[in-house]
Amino acid sequence: MGDTLSTALVLIPALPLAAAILVGLLGARVLKGYSHLPVIFAIVGSFIASVVLLGEVYKGQQAAAEEAAYVAVRDPAADESVPVVAPFERVVTLWTWANVPAAGAQKDAADFRIDVALRADGLTAMMLAMVTFVASLVAVFGSGYMHGDRGYWRFFAYVGLFVFSMTMLVSVSNFVLLFCFWEAVGACSYLLIGFWYTKPEAAAAGKKAFLVNRVGDFGFSLAIFLIWCTYGTLNFHDTLSTGATDPAAIESVAVIESLPAAAREQEIVKWSQDPKLTALAGVETFSSAGEASASDAKPTLPKIVAGVLGKTRLSTGDYVTGGLATAICLLLLLGACGKSAQLPLHVWLPDAMEGPTPVSALIHAATMVTAGVYMVTRCTPLFMASPTAQVTVAIVGGSTALLAGLIALTQYDLKRVLAYSTVSQLGYMFLALGAGTYAGITGGMFHLFTHAFFKALLFLGAGSVMHAMGNIIDMRQFGGLRKLMPYTHATFLLGCLALAGVFPFAGFWSKDAVLASVHDKMHMIDHEIEHRAEHAASHAAEKHAAGHAHGHASGAVVELTHASPVAEWSDAQLASHRTIYSTLYYLALFTAFLTAFYTFRAFCMTFYGEEKIPHQAGHHAHESPPIMTAPLVVLSVAAVVIGAAWISLTSDWGANSLLDFIGTTPSLAVGAVAATREVGKFHIDVAGVSTVTAGLGILLACYLYLGSRTEVAFLKRIFDLEGLQQLTDPQWVMALEKNKYIGLVTGGLRKVGLGFVVTTIGYLLAIVSLVLAAPLLLGSFVTPYKLSLGKFYIDELYSVTIVWPMRIFSMICYWLDRNLIDGLVNLFGAIPPAIGSLMRSLQMGLVQFYALAMVLGAMILIAARMLWAAG
C-alpha cells in the first residue's frame, strides 16, 4: 500500500504543475489552440490518482480499525459500548527544505526543521478527489467557453498552476508550506480574476481580491508565528528527532518511553539492534556502531517531537488555553475569513465575477474559497481549546450567511447572485465548524463537498447563458430561455434544487447536517445545564439530610459521566452560549428560506416569462455546444446523487459513511472532538422544518416571478418605503383636514368651541414633522430594499474609512516627495551648475576683455595701495 499511496500522493499535484509549465513554455508558439489538452489530461490524471488515493486511504483505515479492535478486545478495561475509531494518516517526506539546529539558551529544544512532506488521511483524500473532479470539468467547459480568446494558452497555464497550488495546499503537513501554497492560490486567483487585464473592471477586481486577502494573510502569518513560539514546531504530524515520520518507528519509541526505567534500558538495547526499526527511525543499528565504540557505550533512543496536530499531543490534550489560545485561533480565523470571503473580508468575492466564468466556477466552488474552511477544520484541536474562538467562528459564519442571503435577494447580475450565494453557503460551513462537535466539523466539510458540485454546476450554467446572450448577464435583459437552451435549463434547475436543499438532492443532506449540528450543540448545553441542576439539587438534599452544610462555589464545574466539551464551561458561559447557538439556529433556518427564494428568483427570471434576448446576442442566441453542456450534465448527476455519500448502506439509518471516512483523521478521531461522536444522528424534525422552510421560499419565488410580476413591483414599493418623503413636508398635516372623516371630527370640535384644540394638534404635528425631517429623509435613502441592492453599503463604508483616507495620504506623500524632498535634492544639485555658469561667464575668449580686466585690476591694486599708505 505504501508505494501506491506515495506515488498517487505525489502525482496528484505534479501532473497539473508539469502541464502548466509545458503550456507556459510552448503555448504561445507551438500549442496555441490546443493548449487546453495538456492541462485537461493532467487534471483528469490527477483525479484518477485521487481515486486511487481514496482506495488506499480506505484500506489503511480498515487495517487500523482492525488493529484497534484487536487491542480493545484484549483490553479488559475497554468500554464495549464505545465504537472503536482508529486514527489513520500517512506522511510522505520528499526532502528537507530547511533544518536550523537549536542553539544557545534553546539548545534543548527541537530543531527548526521544515520538511516538504505530504500527508494522506481522510480529510486530505476527500478534498483532493473533490478539487480534481470539479477542476477537470471546469477545464473541459473552459476549452469551449474561452475558444478564440487571445490569451487562450495563458488561461490554461494559470488553471494548471491554480490546481497545483490547491492540491498542494490540502496535502502539505506543516504550517509553513500551508502558508506558502495559501499565498500561491491567492496569486493564481489574482492572475485569473484579472485575466482580461485590459478591462478596467477586471484589473480592479483582481487587485481588490489580492489586497483584501492580504489582510487575512497577515493574521494567518501572525498565528503561525505564535504557534511556533508556543509549541516549538510547525509540523502537523509527529516526528522523531532524526526527522523520521514512519508511524511504526514512532509507535515503537512511544511504547519504550512509557515503560518503567528498569525495563526501558533493556528494550532500548533490543530496539537499537533491530535493523528494520532503526532504519525506519533514521539511526544506525547499535550492533554495527557498537563494535567500534567503547565497551561502556549505550544506545540512545530518538526523541518524539510532538506535532501541533499529531497523535501524541492529541492523546494527551497538551494544548494551551486562555488568552493565548484565543489569540492564535482568532488570527487563524482572520486568515480564513479572507480566503473564504467571510465578514468583514467578503467584499472581494462578488467583484471577482469580472473574470471569465470558468474562473468563477473554479474559485467559488472547489478551490480558493474552500481553503479557509479546510484550514479551520484541520486546526480543530486548536479551536477546541478556546470556547471563545469557537463561538466566534459560529457567529461569523451565521452572520455572513444571513447578510449575504439578504443581499442576494435584490441583485440582477446572475453571477453576482451566485457569488453572494457562495458567501452565504460558506457562512453555513463556518457555522457548523463553530459548533465544535464531531457532527459539526464533518457536517461543515460535507456541505463543502456537496456545494462544490452544485455551485460549479450553477456557475457553469450561468456561463452557458452568458455565452448565448453575448456576454450579457443582467437578468433584466433576457428571459424565457428554457426553450432556447433546454440542456442548460434542465441542469440549472437541478442545481437550484440542490442549492435550495430539496429532498433528495445533495444540498438537502449537507444543509440539514449543518442545522442538526447546531441543534445538537443547543441540546448538549441544555443537557449540561440540567445535569448541573440535578447535581445541585441532590447535593442540597444530601446536605440537608446530613444536617450540615458544605460550601459549593457558584459556577463550579461539575463532571459529567461522559466526556463533553462543555463540561468545563462556567454557568455564565453555558447560559450565554445557549442563547447564541439558539439564535444562530433560527437565523440559519431563515437563511434557508432566503436561499430557496433568491435561487428560484434567478431561475424564473432567466428561463421563464416572456422570451427576451439582448441585441448583443446576435446569432449566438442558441444552446451551448456539447463541449460546454457535457460538464453540466455530469455535474447535475452529481448534484442529485452525491448526497448518498452521507448515508451508509452498511449501518443503521442516521449513520453516515462520509462522516466515518473523514472521522479517521487524527484531529477528529483523537481528542476533545472525538468525545462528541455520539452526537449527530439524522434528525427528522430538523430535516422536516428546513424542508418546509425551503419549500415556502420556492413557492413564494415562483408565485412572484412566474406571473405578471406586478406583486414584485408592489413589494418593491413597500420595502423601498415609497411615500416616506411626504412625511417630511408639514403640508401633509393641513391635508389631513381634507379627509372626509377627519374633517367631520375637526368641524364638530370647532362648533362646540374647541377649535383651539384642533389648531394646537396641527401645530404639534407640524413641529414633529420638522423635527423628524432629517431622519425620515435619511430613511428614504436607507430603505430595506436599497440596503439589499446596495450590499448594505459595506464597500462604500470601506471606501470612506480606509480607501479614500489612504489615497489622500498617498497623494500628500506624493506631493511632499515631488516638491519638498525632490525639490531640496534638485536645489542642491542646481548649485554647482550655477557656480560653473558664473565662472564660465568670466572666460569669454575676447582679448580686449582680458586687457580691460588687467587694467581694472591694476587700478584697483594701485588704489588699494594708496589708501593703505594714506591710512
Alpha helices in 706-821 (DSSP H): 710-719, 731-736, 740-751, 755-771, 773-781, 784-789, 794-798, 804-815
Long-range Cβ contacts of 288-291 (<8 Å, 24+ apart):
none
Chain mean pLDDT for the chain: 82
For residues 311 and 72, what is the distance between their CA atoms, to the nearest angstrom?
A: 18
Does 712 score more than 70 pLDDT?
yes
Question: CA–CA distance from 696 to each of 412, 593, 692, 693, 809 (Å)?
Answer: 22, 7, 6, 5, 51
What does the DSSP 8-state code read for residue 413? B
Other beta carbons within 10 angstroms of residue 664's beta carbon come to 24
Contacts of 182 (CB under 8 A, 6+ apart): 169, 217, 220, 335, 339, 371, 375
pLDDT at 742: 66
For residue 732, pLDDT beyond 90: no
Least confident of 57-61, 236-240, 786-790, 843-847: 843-847
| Beta-bridge partners for 92 | 118
CA distances from 852 to 435, 514, 515, 569, 631 (A): 101, 103, 105, 104, 97
Distance from C-alpha of 163 to C-alpha of 49, rounded to nearest angstrom: 14
CA distance 396 to 12: 33
| Predicted confidence (pLDDT) at residue 719 exceeds the cutoff of 90 | no
The predicted model gives 621-648 an average pLDDT of 85
Greater model confidence, 478 or 241: 478
pLDDT of 684: 79
pLDDT tens track for 812-846: 999 999 888 888 888 888 888 888 887 777 676 77
The Cα 372–Cα 360 span in angstroms is: 17
% of the chain surpassing 70 pLDDT: 81
273 has a pLDDT exceeding 50: yes
3-state secondary structure 15-68: HHHHHHHHHHHHHHHHHHHHCHHHHHHHHHHHHHHHHHHHHHHHHHHHHHHHHH
Predicted local distance difference test score (pLDDT) of residue 289: 43
Which pLDDT belongs to residue 366? 66
* The pLDDT of residue 650: 39
Q: Give Cα 727 distance to the centre of its chain.
A: 45
Question: Residues 147-187: pLDDT tens digits?
Answer: 888 889 999 999 999 999 999 999 999 999 999 999 999 99
- 753 sits in the region (left: phi over 0; alpha: psi -120 to 50; else beta) called left
Residue 285, φ and ψ in degrees, nearest 5: -65, 145
- pLDDT of 552: 41
| 397, 430 Cβ separation under 8 angstroms | yes
- At residue 663, the pLDDT reads 82
Summarize the chain as % helix, strand, coil (round to 5): 75, 5, 25
Cα 482 to Cα 557: distance, rounded to the nearest angstrom: 62
Bridge-based pairing state of the strands 239-240 and 304-305: antiparallel
136 vs 553 pLDDT, higher one:
136
Name which residue leads in pLDDT, 622 or 129: 129
Which is more confident, 552 or 736?
A: 736
Q: What does the alpha-carbon distance between residue 517 and residue 413 come to, in Å, rounded to a whole number?
A: 33
Tell me the average pLDDT across 381-387. 90
Residue 749 pLDDT grade (very low, low, confident, very high; cuts 50, 70, 90):
low
The predicted-structure confidence for 486-503, as pLDDT tens digits, reads as follows: 999 999 999 999 999 998
Contact indicator for 323, 250 with CB cutoff of 8 Å: no
Q: Are 349 and 423 in contact (CB under 8 A)?
A: yes
Give the pLDDT of residue 81: 47
Q: Poorest-confidence range of 378-382, 490-494, 619-623, 760-764?
A: 760-764
Among 123-132, 258-267, 508-517, 750-759, name the most confident range: 123-132
Residue 655 pLDDT > 60 = no
**Cα 738 from chain centroid?**
60
pLDDT 10s digits, 88-133: 888 888 888 877 776 555 555 566 778 889 999 999 999 999 999 9
DSSP letters, 621-655, are -SPPPHHHHHHHHHHHHHHHHGGGGGS-TTS-BTB
The predicted structure's pLDDT at residue 580: 92
The yes-or-no verdict on residue 349 having pLDDT over 50 is yes
For 294-346, what is each residue's pLDDT tens digit? 444 567 777 888 888 888 888 888 899 889 999 999 999 999 999 999 999 99
Tell me the per-residue pLDDT of 568-611, one tens digit each, with 9 for 90 and over: 777 788 888 889 999 999 999 999 999 999 999 999 999 988 88
At 141, the pLDDT band (50, 70, 90 cuts) reads very high
240 against 453, higher pLDDT:
453
Cell reading at 741 = 372623516
Report d(CA 7, CA 56) in Å as an integer: 11
Residue 654 predicted with pLDDT over 50: no
∠ Cα 36 42 45 (to 5°): 135
The distance between the two most distant Cα atoms of the chain, rounded to a whole number of Å, is 132
**Numbers of helices and strands, H then E, in the chain:** 36, 4
Which residue would you say has higher pLDDT here, 70 or 400?
Answer: 400
**pLDDT score, position 179:** 95
Query: Residue 682: pLDDT band by 50, 70, 90 thresholds?
Result: low
Instruction: Identify the bridge partners of residue 479 per DSSP, sorted by sequence position.
Output: 612
